[in-house]
């Protein structure tokens, strides 16, 4: 998908009510995006159901949650969890008696990984085993869901899955250099992408971040057909990322975090939604802004695009609640540091020619460069150091606001969606937040 299709109109429709079912397709973490959507489903009185990715035992075998883990996860979700492991990806899968990709990567060393080669025929066999495992578990999950979703109900499948980084020591060191490194410690994303290690990781991203959405849509076709016959509707949503429009120089402009290594997988996710849409299935990828979550914390600088949300809140509202947000954020800074000076710093950052050269939608996802890392990681570290407490950042507060705003937007738009791929930019999120907080 290479056309930017932002959602500009505030969605207000709602087909979901008590007795309808919300299925969370992914696990729930405290700061995760789906919290905003879950709030809406709960408010609508929907029955909440969830899944688990499972856990690994001491032999790396996938297992269901223990009774204790399950109880904690269900309490956290506020709904029943179908306890069949749905871990996606194939980094720990292999035909019996043969090495899995993580085993193969264990031989890669920090000094040799760029030239180290993988046995691609074996990787492909592992991929097939992983996909077959996922689809077989998914069929069991769907059989249980089929029992749990009554005729005539509407069902909302919310896909959150993204990931696929294999757990190898060498990659942790490489990731630290690609996403956090500057100067001597900088490593270009291209070096990773050109290596066998990088190619293997991209394949795994495809499976976890993109293809799980397709499997979900296909595996639920029976439920969809049954509900359609009895007057119930089925919706699918997924969280995408493909850059965000934020206020730069007083205008909403598209920008992105670079290097977004999962970019190709996220485009594949968009393609799956478009293909389903072509068959009359209401599946929508919502491309969402950069926020700080368990999954994004490794990307130093990803949070810089959040600051202009404070200006968007002023632009899109009457100011009262927006000023409160400014006050809260001001309170997180060291004494003597003005919030406006941080926003000025971000404005200068976005005007920097190095940073501006990455605002190239057609070329997305671009490789990073040493110059970019210097400015981006440097600015991130500088702004973080101006806070009273590194564990209570302005971007934590703004992340919580963004996920709160995306909840109702996704929930209502899914009722009568305009297309398979929609961007939720700072403009509409700010308008939604201001609307929600109007006294």
Residue from 137, 160, 425, 432 touching ligand NAD (CB under 6 A): that is 160
Residue from 201, 276, 291, 414 touching ligand NAD (CB under 6 A): that is 291
Minimum distance from CB of 209 to ligand NAD (Å)? Answer: 6
For ligand NAD (CB under 6 A), the number of binding residues is 24
Tokens of 284: 């929508």
Minimum distance from CB of 374 to ligand NAD (Å)? Answer: 22
Residue from 196, 206, 270, 290 touching ligand NAD (CB under 6 A): that is 290
270: phi then psi, degrees, rounded to nearest 5: -60, -40
Q: Is 136 in the site for ligand NAD (CB under 6 A)?
A: no
Q: Mask: binding to ligand NAD, 164-203, rule CB under 6 A, as x and -? A: x---------------------------------------
Q: Is 423 in the site for ligand NAD (CB under 6 A)?
A: no
Minimum distance from CB of 208 to ligand NAD (Å)? Answer: 5
Residue from 7, 11, 16, 33 touching ligand NAD (CB under 6 A): that is 33
Q: Is 339 in the site for ligand NAD (CB under 6 A)?
A: no
Residue from 7, 11, 23, 27 touching ligand NAD (CB under 6 A): that is 27
Residue from 37, 49, 81, 88 touching ligand NAD (CB under 6 A): that is 88
Our CB check for ligand NAD shows the closer of 76 and 176 to be 76
Minimum distance from CB of 169 to ligand NAD (Å)? Answer: 19
Our CB check for ligand NAD shows the closer of 105 and 153 to be 105
Q: Is 162 in the site for ligand NAD (CB under 6 A)?
A: yes
Only segment of 291-299, 316-324, 338-346, 353-361 that touches ligand NAD (CB under 6 A) = 291-299
Residue from 53, 62, 118, 202 touching ligand NAD (CB under 6 A): that is 53
Do residues 130 and 89 lie in contact, with contact meaning Cβ atoms separated by under 8 Å? yes
Q: Is 357 in the site for ligand NAD (CB under 6 A)?
A: no
Q: Is 161 in the site for ligand NAD (CB under 6 A)?
A: yes
Q: Is 413 in the site for ligand NAD (CB under 6 A)?
A: no
Only segment of 24-32, 305-313, 332-340, 346-354 that touches ligand NAD (CB under 6 A) = 24-32
247: phi then psi, degrees, rounded to nearest 5: -75, 120
Smallest CA-to-CA distance from 217 within 159, 143, 264 is with 159
Q: Is 32 in the site for ligand NAD (CB under 6 A)?
A: yes
Residue from 163, 166, 407, 420 touching ligand NAD (CB under 6 A): that is 163
**β-strand 283-287 against 234-240: which pairing, if any?**
parallel
| Residues 233-262 close enough to bind ligand NAD by CB under 6 A | 239, 241
**Neighbouring residues of 1: CB distance < 8 A, sequence distance ≥ 6:** 242, 267, 270, 271, 274, 421
Q: Is 288 in the site for ligand NAD (CB under 6 A)?
A: yes
Binding region for ligand NAD (CB under 6 A): 26-27, 29, 32-33, 53, 87-89, 160-164, 208, 239, 241, 288, 290-291, 293-296
């Amino acid at each position: 998908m290479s056309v930017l299709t932002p959602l500009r109109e505030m969605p207000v429709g709602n087909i979901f009510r008590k007795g309808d079912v919300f299925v969370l397709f992914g696990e729930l973490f405290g700061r995760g995006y789906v919290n905003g959507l879950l709030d809406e489903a709960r408010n609508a009185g929907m029955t909440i159901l969830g899944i688990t990715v499972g856990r690994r035992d001491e032999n790396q075998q996938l297992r269901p949650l223990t009774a204790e883990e399950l109880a904690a996860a269900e309490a956290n979700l506020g709904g029943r969890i179908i306890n069949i492991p749905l871990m996606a990806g194939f980094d720990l899968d292999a035909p019996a008696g043969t090495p899995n990709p993580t085993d193969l990567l264990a031989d890669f060393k920090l000094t040799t990984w760029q030239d180290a080669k993988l046995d691609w025929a074996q990787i492909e066999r592992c991929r097939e085993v992983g996909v077959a495992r996922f689809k077989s578990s998914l069929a069991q999950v769907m059989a249980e869901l089929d029992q749990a979703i009554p005729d005539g109900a509407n069902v909302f499948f919310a896909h959150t899955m993204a990931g696929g980084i294999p757990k190898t020591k060498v990659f942790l060191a490489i990731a630290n250099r690609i996403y956090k490194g500057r100067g001597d410690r900088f490593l270009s994303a291209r070096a990773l992408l050109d290596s066998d290690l990088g190619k293997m990781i991209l394949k795994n991203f495809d499976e976890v971040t993109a293809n799980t959405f397709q499997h979900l849509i296909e595996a639920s076709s029976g439920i969809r057909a049954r509900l359609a016959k009895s007057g119930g509707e089925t919706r699918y949503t997924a969280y995408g990322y493909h850059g965000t429009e934020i206020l730069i120089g007083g205008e909403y402009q598209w920008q992105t975090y670079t290097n977004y290594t999962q970019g190709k997988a996220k485009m594949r996710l968009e393609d799956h939604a478009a293909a389903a849409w072509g068959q009359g299935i209401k599946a929508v990828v919502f491309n969402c802004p950069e926020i700080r979550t368990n999954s994004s914390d490794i990307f130093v600088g990803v949070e810089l695009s959040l600051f202009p949300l404070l200006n968007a809140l002023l632009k899109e509202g009457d100011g009262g609640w927006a000023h409160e947000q400014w006050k809260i954020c001001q309170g997180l800074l060291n004494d003597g540091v003005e919030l406006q000076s941080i926003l000025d710093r971000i404005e200068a950052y976005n005007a920097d020619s190095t940073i501006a050269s990455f605002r190239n939608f057609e070329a997305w996802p671009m490789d990073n460069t040493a110059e970019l890392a210097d400015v981006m990681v440097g600015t991130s570290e500088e702004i973080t150091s101006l806070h009273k407490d590194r564990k209570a950042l302005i971007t934590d507060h703004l992340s919580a606001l963004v996920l709160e705003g995306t909840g109702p937007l996704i929930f209502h738009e899914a009722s009568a969606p305009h297309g398979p791929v929609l961007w939720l930019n700072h403009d509409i999120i700010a308008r939604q937040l201001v609307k929600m907080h109007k006294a």
